[in-house]
Structure 1
Amino acid sequence: MSGSLSITAATVDSALLDLPWDVPLEAWPSEAIAALPKGISRHLVRFARLGDHVIAVKETTAELARGEYEMLRALQRLEIPCVEPLAVITNRSDADGDPLKPVLVTRHLRFSLPYRALFSQTLRPDTATRLVDALAVLLVRLHIVGFFWGDVSLSNTLFRRDAGAFAAYLVDAETGKLYEHGLSDGQREHDLEIARVNIAGELLDLEAGGRVSDELDPVRISDGILEAYRRLWQELTGSESFPRAERWRIDERVARLNELGFDIEELQIRTDDTGSTVRIQPKVVDAGHHQRRLIRLTGLDTGENQARRLLNDLDSYRAAFEKNDLDEEVVAHEWLVRVFEPVVRAVPVELRGKLEPAEVFHELLDHRRRLSQEAGRDVPLAEAVTSYLSTVLAHRRDEAAMFNPPTGTVTTALDAIAPATGTVPVDDDDEDDWRSKV
């Protein structure tokens, strides 16, 4: 490596020095490159292996790289879903001493994919709608903290499966700006219009290439982000007035916000001069209500919808065994050891790159429900696990960045939840499979 390489990072991974920074990014050797699907970018972006992780390397200018690095760090501090910035590398030069472009290095988000990689052949209307809805939620979260994106699009977003829906993560913050005192309505509407136009263009491009189903209307789908955004924004920030006798509406509003996955940090409640009307308005709204509850109870860090699904399963477990009088954290630990962890261990090593554990658990619950409906009986969990692994998960493509995975067999599914593991089996003879009771 020639020249004096300059690396700016909060914590430097020494493995960064092993990458061929003296070679133009487009000419990096195949042994350094990770073959992962990429979205569309105005800059050259390539994935590379860095130890056990995968990184995204983007060639840009030094000014833009430093600005985006700091912006992504700021968004992370605000708990906004986005990629993790690792480093800015400047003063690159090739073997002849000629300067090379600076790069921004971010960590690849495991189990995430660009929108074009989320469908195998054609994009269906329901999938497109779920992607746009996820992007609308992300945009609302960004606007709440005062972030103007300036280039909202599907291409600048990564998506992770989240209990049947999708969770959206910001990838490109190059054009973004944080405003300390929040955004004006005009700024929010401008971002929305950018989103609508970009999404329509991206879907029309897919349509021109024969990559969407005949039923998909790109303009209607792109217009959908306006409705989804405004509905959520009003629920989160809008004021509400009602007679003083209907104070139950306060609890109802809080419950609706919690169901949407948001917590209220502060709630303004005002009465008028006559004392007969109450006006409420959430002042600061924070996302991740179910995620925080699940982390507190079990230590599991999942998507918001996944957390809601797992908590529903935990609450059902608690009710089925009549453990409502026990401490919630005690029951949560029991559910984790008896139900969730055995299912995760049942997944063979070579299938663990297909989906993240919480998504596997969510899909398993749906699969077991369908099996039970078809069989006209309650299918035991162990039987559902074996069926799910062999008929569903084994046929999915890998959505994690895994290299040279060790081998295993699907037949380990039953062993993973049997008494031989040393854990309490799910369908112990002394305590019937709890899901048959609910």
Structure 2
Amino acid sequence: MPLQITGAPSDPDLIRLPWETPLEEWPEHHLVTLPRGISRHIVRFARLSGRVYAIKEINSRFARREYQLLWDLGRHDAPSVEPVAVVTGRTTADGEPLDSALITRHLQFSLPYRAVLSGSLRPDTLIRLLDALAVLLVRLHLAGFYWGDCSLSNTLFRRDAGAFAAYLVDAETGELHPVLSRGQRDQDIEVARVNIFGEMLDLEAGGFLHPSIDPLAFADQLVARYHRLWEELTQEEIVEDVEWHLIDQRIRRLNSLGFDVAEMMIRRKAGTARLMVKPKVVDAGHHQRRLLRLTGLDVEENQARRLLNDLDSFRVARGLRHEDEAIVAHLWLAEIFQPTVLAIPPDLRGKLEPAQLFHEVLDHRWYMSEAEGRDVGLDAALRSYIDTVLVHKPDEKALIGDDAVPGTEQVPDLTL
């Protein structure tokens, strides 16, 4: 069988990689070193044309299956890595067969949960990591996806404004169903709890876990947060006819958890004046979709919400309340966002992605204005942010040095 790449590879250089060589023996000049978790398969990162790809050596049948599952998750807007292609028909120069390879696009500005927990964390940062992981599991379950192998190594985290967003990175054991039963969800959560507890014990034994973190308590808190979030999203609520403010409170709680409410299903309970209300919830994304439609910026939900707030303030400040929204967005992009990002010195732009940089500049402006009792302006805030904050930040986009040991690399201090 000849070498075949199936999928949607956008980089022609992928075909030129040394597919005739076992992945474990690939030359160093093809590879980059990035933090990664524990894997039962050989995984390497290759950099081509400025993009980084994760390549996993795996049986052909499982490679095709995982590719399809990741593609389906993307169709459901579930937080997961993007599949690129499956490489089959690999053989050595002597004609010996090799396993196939699954290629996915590396998620920029992300780190495995295992690497994050190996660093220094404050308690409130740890809680946000837990919340992000719980939200990921809930979103996957709402989409009908049974993971079967959630772990610290299989989950990536990424900054989303002041919060964290979690992503699935390995769908090898997953199953996609129209709807998950309670038993399937409970089993998936129990697998996650056991895997995470085990990995944290491993980190603790190696001296990589902060002494303040209790592995069992961390795993149990994840389960508790998952169930609380699931109930908030799916439970019915009985209210009196006149208590509609409670429904508004429910919607606000859902929004604060990162979900939008598509519609409300309302039923009148027989023999009473009460209403049973159950929200139909869709994955978060209202602000993402609006910002993408207006500006072409494809960012995380919390970042989109913050950028849209600034866009709306720009509209009011310029007296453009009655102007077409698309025109205002174009002006904001050209006069505010792009000049701010381009003002960052080139050697510092790899610190954070553009949307996160802009968000942090806005935060810095707010703190400076509070301290001085007046609006200091964007230009002054930007200069101060670069000189006093950005230069001291670790480079989240930079590649880890070649001498790093997989699973034990030094990672940025995330004490926010």
Q: TM-score, normalised by structure 2?
A: 0.88
Tell me the amino acid that sits aligned with residue 362 of structure 2.
Answer: L
2:276 to 276, 279, 291: 279
Tell me the amino acid that sits aligned with residue 163 of structure 2.
Answer: A
Rounded Cα–Cα distance in structure 1 between residues aligned with 2:67 and 2:121: 33
Q: Secondary structure at the match of 2:198?
A: helix
Deviations 1:288-345 (A, max 9, x none): 1221232233332111111122223334444555654554444433333332222111
Match of 2:194 in 1: 197
Structure 1: give runs of 5+ residues left out of the alignment: 404-438
CA drift of 1:375 comes to 4.6
The 8 Å contact of residues 146 and 175 in structure 2, kept in 1 or not, is answered as yes
Rounded Cα–Cα distance in structure 2 between residues aligned with 1:203 and 1:322: 54
Deviations 1:249-268 (A, max 9, x none): 44443343334332333421
Rounded Cα–Cα distance in structure 2 between residues aligned with 1:196 and 1:213: 19
The 8 Å contact of residues 261 and 290 in structure 1, kept in 2 or not, is answered as no
Deviations 1:13-33 (A, max 9, x none): 422211000111111111101
Match of 1:219 in 2: 216
Match of 1:106 in 2: 104
Q: Secondary structure at the match of 1:67?
A: helix
Tell me the amino acid that sits aligned with residue 260 of structure 2.
Answer: D
CA drift of 1:100 comes to 1.4
Rounded Cα–Cα distance in structure 2 between residues aligned with 1:388 and 1:234: 41
Q: How does 1:198-347 map to 2 (within 5 A)?
A: 198-274=195-271, 276-320=273-317, 323-347=320-344
The 8 Å contact of residues 123 and 212 in structure 1, kept in 2 or not, is answered as no
| More divergent stretch after superposition (94-103 vs 75-84) | 94-103
Match of 1:23 in 2: 21
Q: Secondary structure at the match of 1:103?
A: strand
Rounded Cα–Cα distance in structure 2 between residues aligned with 1:142 and 1:107: 20
Deviations 1:271-292 (A, max 9, x none): 1234621111123523212212
Residues 12 and 212 (structure 1), Cα distance of their counterparts in 2 relative to 1, 3 Å cut: closer
Residues 290 and 113 (structure 1), Cα distance of their counterparts in 2 relative to 1, 3 Å cut: same
Residues 118 and 377 (structure 1), Cα distance of their counterparts in 2 relative to 1, 3 Å cut: farther
Rounded Cα–Cα distance in structure 1 between residues aligned with 2:377 and 2:160: 25
The 8 Å contact of residues 118 and 203 in structure 2, kept in 1 or not, is answered as no
Residues 211 and 350 (structure 1), Cα distance of their counterparts in 2 relative to 1, 3 Å cut: same
CA drift of 1:160 comes to 0.9
Match of 2:138 in 1: 140
RMSD: 2.4
The 8 Å contact of residues 160 and 356 in structure 2, kept in 1 or not, is answered as yes
Rounded Cα–Cα distance in structure 1 between residues aligned with 2:251 and 2:130: 25
The 8 Å contact of residues 5 and 15 in structure 2, kept in 1 or not, is answered as no
- The answer to whether structure 1 residue 186 and structure 2 residue 190 are counterparts is no
Residues 337 and 397 (structure 1), Cα distance of their counterparts in 2 relative to 1, 3 Å cut: same
Aligned pairs, how many? 400
CA drift of 1:391 comes to 2.6
CA drift of 1:51 comes to 2.3
Match of 1:171 in 2: 169
Residues 266 and 381 (structure 1), Cα distance of their counterparts in 2 relative to 1, 3 Å cut: closer
Residues 14 and 169 (structure 1), Cα distance of their counterparts in 2 relative to 1, 3 Å cut: same
The 8 Å contact of residues 291 and 304 in structure 1, kept in 2 or not, is answered as yes
CA drift of 1:120 comes to 7.7
Match of 1:162 in 2: 160
Deviations 1:214-264 (A, max 9, x none): 322222222221222122212221111111122344444334333433233
The 8 Å contact of residues 58 and 99 in structure 2, kept in 1 or not, is answered as yes
CA drift of 1:11 comes to 4.6
Q: Secondary structure at the match of 2:32?
A: coil
Rounded Cα–Cα distance in structure 2 between residues aligned with 1:229 and 1:319: 40
Tell me the amino acid that sits aligned with residue 302 of structure 1.
Answer: V
Q: Secondary structure at the match of 2:159?
A: strand
Deviations 1:7-64 (A, max 9, x none): 2214564222110001111111111012222222111100012223111110111111
| More divergent stretch after superposition (182-191 vs 317-326) | 317-326
Q: How does 1:352-391 map to 2 (within 5 A)?
A: 352-375=349-372, 377-391=374-388
| More divergent stretch after superposition (140-149 vs 116-125) | 116-125
Tell me the amino acid that sits aligned with residue 135 of structure 2.
Answer: V
Rounded Cα–Cα distance in structure 2 between residues aligned with 1:72 and 1:237: 25
Match of 1:418 in 2: none
Match of 1:398 in 2: 395
The 8 Å contact of residues 36 and 153 in structure 2, kept in 1 or not, is answered as no
Tell me the amino acid that sits aligned with residue 145 of structure 2.
Answer: F
Tell me the amino acid that sits aligned with residue 187 of structure 1.
Answer: Q
Q: TM-score, normalised by structure 1?
A: 0.84
Tell me the amino acid that sits aligned with residue 55 of structure 1.
Answer: Y
Tell me the amino acid that sits aligned with residue 74 of structure 2.
Answer: Q
Rounded Cα–Cα distance in structure 2 between residues aligned with 1:52 and 1:197: 38
The 8 Å contact of residues 88 and 104 in structure 1, kept in 2 or not, is answered as yes
Rounded Cα–Cα distance in structure 1 between residues aligned with 2:87 and 2:313: 51
Rounded Cα–Cα distance in structure 1 between residues aligned with 2:81 and 2:328: 34
Rounded Cα–Cα distance in structure 2 between residues aligned with 1:160 and 1:262: 18
| More divergent stretch after superposition (218-227 vs 158-167) | 218-227
Q: Secondary structure at the match of 2:265?
A: strand
Match of 1:36 in 2: 34
Q: Secondary structure at the match of 1:245?
A: coil
The 8 Å contact of residues 113 and 159 in structure 1, kept in 2 or not, is answered as yes
| More divergent stretch after superposition (312-321 vs 209-218) | 312-321
Rounded Cα–Cα distance in structure 1 between residues aligned with 2:220 and 2:324: 47
Instruction: State the structure with bigger RCO (CA 8 A, min sep 6), 1 or 2.
Output: 2
CA drift of 1:90 comes to 1.6
Rounded Cα–Cα distance in structure 2 between residues aligned with 1:177 and 1:314: 41
The 8 Å contact of residues 258 and 289 in structure 1, kept in 2 or not, is answered as no
| More divergent stretch after superposition (268-277 vs 135-144) | 268-277
Rounded Cα–Cα distance in structure 2 between residues aligned with 1:374 and 1:13: 49
